[in-house]
């Protein structure tokens, strides 16, 4: 059994989107995935890429992925934001997730970021244990805020 972690390539995006959809089913929100394949491909490999990713191959098949992007904190400086880390259910427990996480950490250091952040659902105890085992801490004080595209249009219109 061969395991390989590598930077994502443009040709990996269809499989990566499948993994995103698998994650959404696990997180009980499959209808929330609205990104289209062309948009995801362009956002990672177009003229102005905003995300960077890694894939985890197990026996030559992509069984996991991590997608990150740069963010800036006025308190902490440059940070790498881990948008998603996904390992298929069949491949869990083989070290793919940890190797993906470590690839993101190494990338953050190579870019001289001051840290890495992400979100995890409070009911996802397996993920919480995973991150805690790797030395992560969690803040329960901050709430996540968001507005959707229609709300953006209303806000922009004044």
Asked about 131 being catalytic, the answer comes back as yes
pLDDT per 10-residue tile (average), the chain, 158 residues:
92 98 95 97 98 95 98 95 96 94 96 95 92 91 83 91
pTM over cut 0.75: yes
Please give the angle made by the CA atoms of 118, 34 and 150, to the nearest 5 degrees: 95
| Residue 147 in tokens | 């507005």
pLDDT at 145: 84
Q: What is each CA distance from 21 to 24, 62, 111, 158, in whole angstroms?
A: 5, 14, 29, 35
List CB contacts of 132: < 8 A, sequence separation 6 or more.
none
Beta strands of the chain (E only): which ranges?
Answer: 3-7, 52-58, 61-73, 77-87, 116-118
- CATH class (in words) of the domain with range 3-157: alpha beta
């Amino acid at each position: 059994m061969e395991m390989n972690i590598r930077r994502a390539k443009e040709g990996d995006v269809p499989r990566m989107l499948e993994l995103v959809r698998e994650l959404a089913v696990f997180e009980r929100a499959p209808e929330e995935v609205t990104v289209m394949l062309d948009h995801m491909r362009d956002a990672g490999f177009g003229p102005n890429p905003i995300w960077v990713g890694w894939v985890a191959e197990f026996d030559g098949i992509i069984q996991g992925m991590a997608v990150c992007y740069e963010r800036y904190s006025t308190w902490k400086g440059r940070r790498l934001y881990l948008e998603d880390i996904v390992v298929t259910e069949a491949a869990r427990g083989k070290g793919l997730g940890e190797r993906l996480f470590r690839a993101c950490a190494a990338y953050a250091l190579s870019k001289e970021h001051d840290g890495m952040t992400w979100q995890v659902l409070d009911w996802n105890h397996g993920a919480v244990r995973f991150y805690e085992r790797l030395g992560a801490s969690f803040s329960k004080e901050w709430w996540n805020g968001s507005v959707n595209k229609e709300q953006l249009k209303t806000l922009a219109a004044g």
